C-alpha cells in the first residue's frame, strides 16, 4: 500500500488520520490541540498567514482560524471540510509555492511520516520558502533522545521514521531553521500525562474497551469519549514533560 492509499484508507476507516485506536484518539487529539493553543496564547503569537503542513481533517487549521490567521492547509491526500473564506487548501508543493508568505507554520506529527531523509529535507525546504524571515515553525514530532530508543520502546511500523532529535537538528539547520526551544510532551502509551491516566481508568473508557463493538459506537460513544476527555483536560493546567525522557517533542524553530 502506497502513502496515498494508506492515508485515504485510514480516513475512510476512522473518519480522521490520527490514532487508529478511538479511545486514544479521543483524548490525545484534544491534548495536542491544548498544547498548541497554550503556546499561541502564552507567547502572544499573532500574524497574517499560517501554514498547517499535513492538515488532515483540519482540527489545527480551525484552531489557527480561531486565532485570526488566514490559513493554508497543505495535505496531498486529505482535503478538510472547512468552509471559510480565510482558508485555502493546497494538495501539492506546486500549489503551495503559489500561495502567500506565512508568519507561522505547524507540523503536527506529519514530517516523521516522510520516511526518506531526502523527503523530509524537501518538505522542510518547502516550508522554509513559505515562511518569511523570522517566521516560526512549530513542530510536534517524534524526536528520540537516543537512536537506541527505537529498540528500547519497540518503535516499528511501516509509516514512521522515528528520527532522533539529533537527526532533526541536522535537517532543520540544513534547511534554514534555528531551533529556539525543545520541550518533551506526554505520549499516551509511553509517557502518559496524569490526565490521560485518569481518563484511561475511567468507567466510560473501560466500558468502551470491554465492549468495542457496541452498537452505534462511532456515532455516539466516541463523541461521548471526546466530551469526557475535554472535561478532564478542562479541570487542569497545561503541563509538559520537562526533564522526562520522551518520544514526542514540541520543537519551536525560527526561519533564518
Pairing between β-strand 70-74 and β-strand 87-90 as defined by DSSP bridges: parallel
Q: What is the pLDDT of residue 238?
A: 64
Weakest-pLDDT range from 110-124, 156-170, 205-219: 205-219
Quick check: 102 and 130 in contact, CB under 8 A?
yes
Average pLDDT over residues 119-135: 96
Query: Does pLDDT of 95 surpass 80?
Result: yes
**Hey, what's the cell of 217?**
459506537
Quick check: 254 and 134 in contact, CB under 8 A?
yes
Query: Does pLDDT of 235 surpass 90?
Result: no
**Which string of b and e fits 8-21 if b means at least 16 CB within 10 Å?**
eebeeebebbbbee
Q: What is the pLDDT of residue 135?
A: 97
25-76 pLDDT, tens digit per residue, is 999 999 999 999 999 999 999 999 999 999 999 999 999 999 999 999 999 9
Average pLDDT over residues 113-128: 95
Q: Is residue 223 part of a domain?
A: no
Q: Is residue 219 part of a domain?
A: no
Query: Does pLDDT of 131 surpass 80?
Result: yes
pLDDT-derived band at 102 (thresholds 50, 70, 90) equals very high
Rounded to two decimals, the pTM is: 0.91
pLDDT-derived band at 223 (thresholds 50, 70, 90) equals confident
Quick check: 64 and 106 in contact, CB under 8 A?
yes
**Which string of b and e fits 79-98 if b means at least 16 CB within 10 Å?**
ebebeeeebbbbeeeeebee
How far apart CA 54 and CA 11 sit, in angstroms, is 13
Domain range for 32 is 3-188+239-255
H-run or E-run covering 165:
helix 165-174
Q: How many domains does the chain have?
A: 1
Q: Is residue 115 part of a domain?
A: yes
pLDDT-derived band at 125 (thresholds 50, 70, 90) equals very high
Grouping H, G, I as helix, E, B as strand and the rest as coil, residue 175 is coil
Q: What is the pLDDT of residue 185?
A: 92
Q: Is residue 120 part of a domain?
A: yes
Q: Is residue 234 part of a domain?
A: no
Q: Is residue 200 part of a domain?
A: no
Residue 43 backbone phi and psi in degrees, to 5 = -100, 5
Q: Could you tell me the CATH number of the domain that includes residue 133? A: 3.40.50.150
How far apart CA 65 and CA 156 sit, in angstroms, is 35
168-217 pLDDT, tens digit per residue, is 999 999 999 999 999 999 999 988 999 999 999 999 999 888 887 766 66
Q: Is residue 196 part of a domain?
A: no
Mean pLDDT of the chain: 90
Q: Is residue 96 part of a domain?
A: yes
Pairing between β-strand 102-108 and β-strand 49-53 as defined by DSSP bridges: parallel
Pairing between β-strand 177-185 and β-strand 49-53 as defined by DSSP bridges: unpaired
Q: What is the pLDDT of residue 148?
A: 84
| DSSP track, 26-92 | HHHHHHHHHHHHHHHHHTT---SEEEEET-TTSHHHHHHHHTT-EEEEE-SS-------TTEEEE-S
Among 178, 177, 152, 169, residue whose Cα is nearest residue 249: 169
Sign of the dihedral through C-alpha 109, 47, 83, 90: negative
Q: What is the pLDDT of residue 218?
A: 64
pLDDT-derived band at 109 (thresholds 50, 70, 90) equals very high
Amino acid at each position: 500500500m502506497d502513502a496515498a492509499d494508506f492515508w485515504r484508507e485510514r480516513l475512510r476507516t476512522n473518519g480522521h488520520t490520527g490514532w487508529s485506536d478511538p479511545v486514544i484518539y479521543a483524548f490525545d487529539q484534544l491534548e495536542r490541540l491544548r498544547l498548541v493553543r497554550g503556546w499561541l496564547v502564552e507567547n502572544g503569537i499573532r500574524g497574517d498567514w499560517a501554514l498547517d503542513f499535513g492538515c488532515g481533517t483540519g482540527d489545527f487549521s480551525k484552531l489557527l482560524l480561531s486565532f485570526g490567521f488566514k490559513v493554508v492547509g497543505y495535505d496531498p491526500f486529505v482535503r478538510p471540510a472547512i468552509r471559510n473564506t480565510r482558508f485555502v487548501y493546497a494538495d501539492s508543493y506546486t500549489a503551495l509555492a503559489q500561495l502567500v508568505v506565512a508568519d507561522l507554520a505547524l507540523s503536527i506529527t506529519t514530517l516523521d511520516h516522510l520516511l526518506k531523509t531526502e523527503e523530509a529535507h524537501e518538505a522542510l525546504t518547502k516550508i522554509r520558502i513559505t515562511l518569511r524571515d523570522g517566521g516560526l515553525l512549530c513542530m510536534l514530532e517524534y524526536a528520540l533522545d537516543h537512536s537506541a530508543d527505537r529498540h528500547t520502546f519497540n518503535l516499528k511500523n511501516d509509516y514512521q521514521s522515528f528520527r532522533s532529535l539529533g537527526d532533526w537538528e541536522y535537517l532543520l539547520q540544513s534547511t534554514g531553521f534555528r531551533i529556539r526551544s525543545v520541550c518533551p510532551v506526554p505520549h499516551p502509551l509511553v509517557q502518559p500525562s496524569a490526565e490521560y491516566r485518569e481518563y484511561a481508568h475511567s468507567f466510560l473508557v473501560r466500558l468502551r474497551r470491554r465492549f468495542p463493538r457496541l452498537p452505534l459506537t462511532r456515532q455516539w460513544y466516541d463523541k461521548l469519549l471526546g466530551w469526557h476527555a475535554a472535561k478532564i483536560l478542562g479541570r487542569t493546567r497545561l503541563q509538559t514533560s520537562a526533564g522526562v525522557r520522551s518520544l514526542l517533542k514540541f520543537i519551536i524553530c525560527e526561519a533564518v
